[in-house]
Amino acid sequence: MKTQARPNIGSYEERLKGFSWSAAESELGYTPGADINIAWYCTDRICQQGKGGKTALLWEGLGGVEKRYTFDDLRLASNTIASFLQGLGIAPEERVCLFMDRIPELYLGFLGALKAGAVVQPLFSAFGDESLLVRLENAQTKAILTTRKHVGKVRKIREKLPCLKHIIVVDDDGRKALQEREVAFSLARSKPVEDFKAAATKAESPSVLHYTSGTTGMPKGVRHVHYSLVSQYLTAKWVLDLREDDVYWCTADPGWVTGTSYGIIGPWSQGITQCVLDVGFTAEAWYRFIQKRRVTVWYSAPTAIRALMKAGEEIVKKHDLSSLRHLVSVGEPLNAEAVVWSERVFGLPFHDSYWQTETGSIMITNFPGVKIKPGSMCKPFPGITAALLDMATFEPFHESGKVGLIAIKPGWPAMLRGYWNNQEAFEKKFKNGWYLTGDRATLDQDGYFWFVGRDDDVINTAGHLVSPFEVESALLEHPAVAESAVVSKPDEINMEVVKAFVTLKAGFAESDDLKLEIMNFIRKKLSPLAMPTEIEFIAQLPKTRSGKIMRRMLKAKEWGQEIGDTSTLEND
């Protein structure tokens, strides 16, 4: 394992003593009651610190096209975009959607819209027109920034969106006539706006409207505020361990909350250089990018990590990845096997972090310098009170090994302030003074949290609660298994039993003998009730575009139920 410098968090135990979010406010130079605009803190403030010439973004797209932006470039570009939006008549708190690939304008547009006082609504560019319609209609979006590649989807639905006044094409080249409500905008051809006063937003002013991934139902618009910066700044500093000379890579698309909280706000509020790769996933492309950019801190998802595992270890040896010093994972629980694998091939373990769209920032996490127990989420971030609640009484308990609901005491800066136009759903997220995450876990004697599953994913077979994650982790240890998803299926005797869907690594062929071999392998690791009664090989697991496995789709098919919303499905 590589030798590490003292982590930013220092001693976890010492940080817990008398913790206050005011420490982050002080570092940011924010005084309660004063204006707080996320975009200003990520651009103008960094320039005022004398870092205007420092590289902020290293971008690489298809065909090896590269672009570089300094923090002063971010300042000027966000000023220019903000001025343009205000010139169109965009009023404070009106929703401005970002609908494009991971091109620089996506990141710059995010900052520009916030500077203008608008609420940013980032959406995955892979959405089809119907998925786009649902979200734009729900948010009553006023303007959308998009590209020639994706404007066709907007044209299909614009007549159904009377609130959508401006369709802004950021790469229009003038070759084709613009259509109704469309306007061209080009940063390259616009005169940079040197002086722009960022909107005088306050702590509770709305900032970002993120739509949930829809793994358990229709997507909901999660409302965040500018004060979320305080959580995102400090968690990025202590969990991602970001430092002045780092080159940071967050692989998440800003259509997902990770891509904004830790792909824009967290690093840039600290003046950190980050890089973005806008090409399709291959292990070769990713490793080459890390080598080329000398990436030091890498934040990725278990789905991607498992895909890298599937690609094997030989390809790792072909690249110089010695620049890496800290690895963190987000999105799905990280299997123990993935932690062990990364330590073996990179000389560094991935640190699992747990949080949600609704929490806005990291809640429970493995910290640099704190002992990792592979498969565990570790402990709450300082300032976060997390507990397990009894599933009948909703009262906290401390019994080791007992399954309970993960709950957080409200009050952290990045907590959602509501669901857009859905107060009923928002109120259901709270019980007995706790925010309910909808996830289940256990605690061990050291206070480490161990993920069990989504509340509606946990399998109750003959009165015994089975963790899908536990079974999936056992399956992943078999050399033939690339990924797995475990759900319940109906059973006349036990009410429901365990079924596993498995994708295979290259070089392995589906057969009854292989199923039997996998069954015998995991029989040594699981209790009899947790054993799958059936294994089904599948070419690809259904996933959201943020990489989360959509188990509810597999379960619905087993139970003969409606599949429900699939708008965030990766290949929808």
pLDDT tens digit string along 52-101? 999 999 999 999 999 999 999 999 999 999 999 999 999 999 999 999 99
As given in the structure block, the two tokens for residue 295 are 């990436």
Domain boundaries, the chain: 71-226, 464-559
Q: What confidence score (pLDDT) does residue 572 get?
A: 47
CB 387 within 8 A of CB 394: no
Q: What confidence score (pLDDT) does residue 42 get?
A: 98
CATH (one of 3.30.300.30, 3.30.1300.10, 3.40.50.300, 3.40.50.150) for 464-559: 3.30.300.30
Work out the widest C-alpha separation in the chain, in whole angstroms: 72
**Whole-number Å distance between alpha carbons of 451 and 94:** 38
Q: What confidence score (pLDDT) does residue 216 get?
A: 47
**Whole-number Å distance between alpha carbons of 508 and 489:** 26
Give the Cβ contact number of residue 14 at 10 Å. Answer: 11
What values do phi and psi take at 534, rounded to 5?
-150, 140
Residues 6+ apart with CB under 8 A from 561: 555
Q: Angle at CA 394, nearest 5°, toward 392 and 396? A: 120
- How would you label 304-338 residue by residue, b for 16+ Cβ within 10 Å and e otherwise? bbbbbbebeeeeeeebebeebbbbbbbbbbbbbbb
Q: What confidence score (pLDDT) does residue 195 get?
A: 97
Q: What is the pLDDT of residues 178-230, one digit of tens each?
A: 888 999 999 999 999 999 999 999 999 999 999 986 544 567 999 999 999 99
Looking up tokens 């640099």, which residue turns up? Answer: 368
Spans of the chain below 50 pLDDT:
1, 215-216, 572
Three-state secondary structure of 103-139: CHHHHHHHHHHHHCCCEEEECCCCCCHHHHHHHHHHH
Q: What confidence score (pLDDT) does residue 557 get?
A: 87
**Whole-number Å distance between alpha carbons of 285 and 282:** 5
Q: Angle at CA 243, nearest 5°, toward 238 and 244? A: 150
Helix, strand, coil % (nearest 5) of the chain?
A: 30, 25, 45
Looking up tokens 């320039």, which residue turns up? Answer: 47
CB 416 within 8 A of CB 406: no
DSSP 47: I
CATH number for the domain formed by residue range(s) 71-226: 3.40.50.980
Give the Cβ contact number of residue 273 at 10 Å. Answer: 22
* pTM for the model: 0.86
